[in-house]
Amino acid sequence: MYYDIDAILTDAQKVPCQFELNVPGLGYIDGNTGGDLKRGTKVELPLWLGEMLAVSQPTSTGALVTLDLPAALSQRVMNALKADPRTVDLRAQAPHFYALAARMLELFEEEEMVDILTETFKKRSAEIADQAHNPRGALGEGAEFLRGLDETERQLFKSAHESAKSTRSWMADMKKH
């Protein structure tokens, strides 16, 4: 198996976590060097760490931390996506927006969010295809939209652009011979 860089980068994105226990000596991650981490403190932890702590059950009382949805998947963003998927800058929300959403949806049951994201992805894909086939797209009025693509969408744009380009260059090559 190969290590997938995008999967690693997705797991490195921060999610809000709330500690449910006092942890001695861990205060430094909250800016309180040398002290204890108080119960109820909210800190941003990488997804892989937060998930691990949230699902592990060290005591009978419950998990060490509780996870929350990151700001990128907040209701505010969802409302914006529902209103018009094309104008939202997904990259500013999270560089691996869809991958992060897919990971969070494994942990939270949010059927409505799945529907919103599916609709968003379809609408934006159609726009990406149009931009990728327009040779001047990346420089013209589409530049704003293309800057806001997340990593999955960038790959999609790249592959659509490459195949359009290779077909065009086949036609041009044939004319030369």
Partner 1 sequence: MALPLPPGLTPAEIAFMCEMELVTVIPRQRLEGLDLLGGPTPPLNPPYRADLPLWLALLLKRQRRANISPPPWLNPQSLEAILRVETELSNQAFSPPAPLPPSIDPLLPNPAPPFVPSATYDAPADALPYHWLELGEILLEAASDDFETPDQVRRLLRDLREIRMEKLRKGAEVLDAGGGVKMNGVGAMEVGEGRAFITGVIDGLRKIGASKEQAKREREAEERENGFVGTAPEDEDEMEL
Question: Which residues in this chain contact partner 1 in the complex, by CB under 8 A?
Answer: 2, 98-99, 101-102, 105-106, 109, 111, 114, 117-118, 121-123, 125-126, 129-130, 132-133, 152, 155-156, 159-160, 162-164, 166-167, 169-171, 173-175
DSSP assignments along the chain, one per residue: ----HHHHHHHTSEEEEEE-S-BTT-GGGGT-TTSPBPTT-EEEEEHHHHHHHHH--SBTTB-SEEE---GGGSHHHHHHHHH-GGG--HHHH-TTHHHHHHHHHHHS--HHHHHHHHHHHHHHHHHHHHHHHSTTTTTTTTHHHHHT--HHHHHHHHHHHHHHHHHHHHHHHHHH-
Question: Cβ of residue 147: shortest distance to partner 1, in angstroms?
Answer: 19
Kindly tell me which of 19 and 137 has the beta carbon lying closer to partner 1.
137
Length, in residues, of the chain: 177
Q: In terms of CB distance, is 38 or 123 closer to partner 1?
A: 123
Q: Name which of 111 and 144 has its Cβ closer to partner 1.
A: 111
Shortest distance (Å) from residue 150 CB to partner 1:
10
Closer CB to partner 1, 41 or 85, in the complex: 85
Beta carbon of residue 135, minimum distance to partner 1 (angstroms, whole number)? 13
Cβ closest to partner 1, residue 57 vs residue 118: 118
Could you give the C-alpha distances from 150 to 31, 58, 94, 155, 167, in angstroms and in order? 31, 36, 7, 9, 26
We find the least distance from the C-beta atom of residue 143 to partner 1, in angstroms, to be: 20
- Distance in Å, CB of 95 to partner 1, minimum: 15
